[in-house]
Structure 1
Amino acid sequence: MNLSYTKKVFPSGLKVVFRRMKSPLVTLNLWARVGVKDEEPVQIGISHFFEHMVFKGTTNYPGLELSRQVQAIGGNINAGTSLDTTDFYIVVPYNHWEKSLELIIDLVRNPLFDPIEIEREKKVIIQEIHIDEDDPEEKLAITLYHEVFSGTPYERSILGSKDTIAHLKRENFICHQESFYHPSNLTLVVCGDLSENQLFEKIDLFFKNGGKPLQNLFNSFPPLPKVQRKRIEINMDIHHHYGAIGFLGPGIRQDDFCLLKLLSIILGDGIDSRLNARLREREQLVDSIHTNFSFYQESGIFSIIFTFANSDPKIIEATIQEECELLLNYTPQDIEINRAKNLLLSGFYHSIETTLGSAELLGRLDTIDTIDTIFRYLKNIQNIQTKQIIDVLKKYLDFNFAISVIINPEDHR
């Protein structure tokens, strides 16, 4: 596999990652090292709100003009906020990459933060919060994260709360920009078929003056919790049952994250996985079940998610626990391990087939760890042995510390 790239740090502190790819499209993906974990408690949700506000007009492109400019050159523009990061991307035909570079830099450097638009957008975000509150899958995920990461910034909702959003002012956004959008806190990833030298020369013109150095406003991450087993039941106006079991896991800087990705596939990815084979196909306790390991800079969460109609959730949970414990005695066969390795590698290769997929992978890794994690990850996957899977199962999937969340219809008895 050829995943060659160039990384350069400019005098302003800006980090640029370039991957040359034979494609008619170019992706420019700008990453900031700021997410929910870096927010003050009274401003939870500001990173996501900031992401919204930069699209409401800049000094050079007021109103929706910047989005119109992107559309006029055949491009797509979007953004995202996570627990650790905020990023913005533009995907365009390769002959318009220079204009796109100008636009994506203007987006985060010169936002207007119009007070009238801020007040309008508050209503939009509060409506998003209401929608999530009414969506059982979102409610399930938010509750699970809040409990598993209890006592740390990762327990927070990316959207914030109605109260924190309502109190944000223009000066809060200006301070957020000055604190976290200095070039030394940014990574720009560019993937496409263009000249590396030309790209770096163009970027250098935009960042001759980096401005004031970034102040150290990042809060230290508190010790991770060790929560005793807990079970939460929520009633909602729905017609189906939703459930989840969550375990605290490692962050990206620990090699165990790779083992948990593989364990997740063995347990609950596809019809041949152990939980699917037993709970859905054989015993028909659930309508669907899958597992996932999501990793972040400081920690991770291993989740088992399921839906069901008439089964007893306590029996479902007990069966899941029994199946996980059976894995200790009936260890994964070579065919299971090879299947999991193949699916992991296939998913990785698919993710880097496009310029956007490549930019998102390289950018996220550079922001929360290092791009070299890719090569460590690929090597670790190929060398995983059965004993390592069993060890990581014992270490992290301890049901004495499991968080269970069940969402039932309101008329459920």
Structure 2
Amino acid sequence: MRLSLLGVNEMKSKILFIAACFLFASGCASKGAETVKYDNGLTAVFLYNQESLAASVNVFVRAGAIDEKPSQAGLSHFLEHLMFKGSKNYPGDALSRNTENLGGYINAMTSKDFTRYYINIQKDGVPETIKMLADAMQNPLFPQEEIDKESKVVIEEIKIHLDNPVSVLYDKFCDMIYEKSAMKNSVIGRAEVIANVSRDEIYEYYSSHYVPEKMLVIIAGNFDVKKAQKLVAQTFGKFEKKAPPAEPNLIEPVHPSKNYVKKSDVEVSYMVNAFLGPDDSSDDMFAGDIASIILGGSKSSRLNMVLKEEKQLVYSIGSASVSSKGTGVFYIYSVFDAKNMDAIKTEVRKQIEKIIADGVTDEELNRAKIAVKTGWSFSQEKPSDIAHERGYWAVIGKPDYPDVYLSKIESVTSDDVKNFFTKYYLPDAVTNTALIPEKTK
């Protein structure tokens, strides 16, 4: 999981997804997009482009940290480590060996709200790759010796995570900004859970969440579409239909401000100032994207120009509006000398209140929109990236996001940006989380 304190990939995620869908909807006969829904609840998306040099076969499972109880903290991530450790028809390391023999690359990642398994491969390897991933998802063996081995690996990852001050700050930030939402759960989990979990508990978690209705198969790039669709129907389409578990609560009510400052073994100070944003049902997220660029999303942004260039209060500063399933978050992140912390908070508030009072200029608005379009133009077109972004937006319930995104961005006005901060920026509900050097007085 690409787990980032700064969350700067959020806008890139949207841009990549939009670019991908524009590419596949171009009307050219060698390119296209098809979505198939199977009777067992599974969805498959075929994004074919015969001009591509490769393909990417992906399985997204809507199972992540948000689905875990405290006694299961880290099981989604642990399961990711185990799923490629042998299956009924591909025991041992056969999955990895077969992938290498086909000239491919196999990997996986875990996030708060999904787990992704993928194999990047050349065109002729797609049929075997579909079979391998289907068998891994349906018939994992979970050998006890692999559980014992991987538990040590994961526990070591947890130790490294806890030794990283920025990772600790991110976890604390999530714990404070979310009181009710399961988004507060940490992806890395807890070492005591991983050390003591049994094979039966692992299998129970797997069988509960790895059900067709929570799975999304995405194949992107150059491949034989008819053959791929037939194989997906014969494999993933035959998985037993099961009722998925109840969805976790991801709506966070507004709550009073919280402040957390911890002395740590760091050379400089780090801080996140955040407030709750729109939920996934609101069009306010489009204004939020533009607002984040104008406030702190570029070198010409207000926060960068005032706090870094003019007043030299920070080494770096930025902002991001993060849309997710449930309640989103808007946050400002900064790196600075501890003595400037209060001045930074004051100046951030001043800049936001200035937008609330006066709005933004046409120049700022147009520059932010151009930033989105430029990012779109320069976005990557690798099948793996396209599949990842398509899967991400499908997982959070917006599979048709690109159909409206650019037009919605283009329609954002100065008043929309002003109203965004008026509606969501509540000074008494801003969460502040900081790490400062231990030597600080």
TM interval, short-chain normalised: over 0.9
* Alpha-carbon contact 1:34-1:84 (below 8 Å) kept: yes
Q: CA deviation at 1:351?
A: 4.3
**Larger deviation: 284-293 or 193-202?**
193-202
1:146 aligned to 141, 159, 175, which one? Answer: 175
Alignment of 1:66-81 (within 5 A): 66-81=95-110
Q: Equivalents in 2 of 1:204, 1:159: separation in Å? A: 34
Q: CA deviation at 1:367?
A: 2.0
Question: CA separation of 1:166/1:192 partners in 2, compared to 1, >3 Å: closer, same or farther?
Answer: same
Which residue in 1 is equivalent to 2:74? 45
* Alpha-carbon contact 1:56-1:117 (below 8 Å) kept: yes
- Deviations 1:173-230, CA, capped at 9 Å, x for gaps: 212222222223211111112232222112122145322x322412441652322112
**Larger deviation: 245-254 or 385-394?**
245-254
Q: Is residue 197 from structure 1 mapped to residue 232 from structure 2 by the alignment? A: no
Please tell me the residue identity of whatever aligns with 1:148: I
Which residue in 2 is equivalent to 1:17? 45
Alignment of 1:71-110 (within 5 A): 71-110=100-139
Q: Equivalents in 1 of 2:62, 2:378: separation in Å? A: 26
**CA RMSD, 1 decimal:** 1.8
1:302 aligned to 330, 333, 336, which one? Answer: 330
Which residue in 2 is equivalent to 1:247? 275
Which residue in 2 is equivalent to 1:35? 64
Question: CA separation of 1:384/1:161 partners in 2, compared to 1, >3 Å: closer, same or farther?
Answer: same
Alignment of 1:186-225 (within 5 A): 186-207=215-236, 209-211=238-240, 213-221=241-249, 223-225=251-253
Q: Equivalents in 2 of 1:120, 1:298: separation in Å? A: 36
Please tell me the residue identity of whatever aligns with 1:281: E
Q: Equivalents in 1 of 2:141, 2:75: separation in Å? A: 16
Q: CA deviation at 1:312?
A: 2.2
Which residue in 2 is equivalent to 1:184? 213
Q: CA deviation at 1:40?
A: 2.2
Q: Equivalents in 1 of 2:129, 2:377: separation in Å? A: 27
Q: Equivalents in 2 of 1:56, 1:13: separation in Å? A: 26
- Deviations 1:360-412, CA, capped at 9 Å, x for gaps: 12112222213112212222101111111111111112221011111011121
Question: CA separation of 1:279/1:378 partners in 2, compared to 1, >3 Å: closer, same or farther?
Answer: same
Q: CA deviation at 1:120?
A: 2.3
Q: Equivalents in 1 of 2:377, 2:159: separation in Å? A: 37
- Deviations 1:131-155, CA, capped at 9 Å, x for gaps: 1222122122111111101232111
Q: CA deviation at 1:260?
A: 1.1
* Alpha-carbon contact 1:185-1:214 (below 8 Å) kept: no
Tell me the SS of whatever aligns to 2:149: helix
**Unaligned ranges ≥5, structure 2:** 1-21, 26-32
Q: Equivalents in 2 of 1:83, 1:323: separation in Å? A: 31
* Alpha-carbon contact 2:64-2:114 (below 8 Å) kept: yes
Which residue in 1 is equivalent to 2:263? 235
Tell me the SS of whatever aligns to 1:55: coil
Q: Is residue 399 from structure 1 mapped to residue 402 from structure 2 by the alignment? A: no
Tell me the SS of whatever aligns to 1:254: coil
Please tell me the residue identity of whatever aligns with 1:42: S
Tell me the SS of whatever aligns to 2:230: helix
Q: CA deviation at 1:15?
A: 0.8
Tell me the SS of whatever aligns to 2:299: coil
Q: Equivalents in 1 of 2:111, 2:255: separation in Å? A: 23
Q: Equivalents in 2 of 1:188, 1:207: separation in Å? A: 8
Q: Is residue 159 from structure 1 mapped to residue 188 from structure 2 by the alignment? A: yes
Question: CA separation of 1:9/1:208 partners in 2, compared to 1, >3 Å: closer, same or farther?
Answer: closer
Which residue in 1 is equivalent to 2:397? 369
* Alpha-carbon contact 2:211-2:243 (below 8 Å) kept: no
Tell me the SS of whatever aligns to 1:248: strand
* Alpha-carbon contact 1:115-1:169 (below 8 Å) kept: no
Please tell me the residue identity of whatever aligns with 1:144: F
User: What percent identity do the matched residue pairs reach?
Assistant: 29
Alignment of 1:337-376 (within 5 A): 337-351=365-379, 353-376=381-404
1:269 aligned to 286, 294, 297, which one? Answer: 297
Tell me the SS of whatever aligns to 1:88: strand
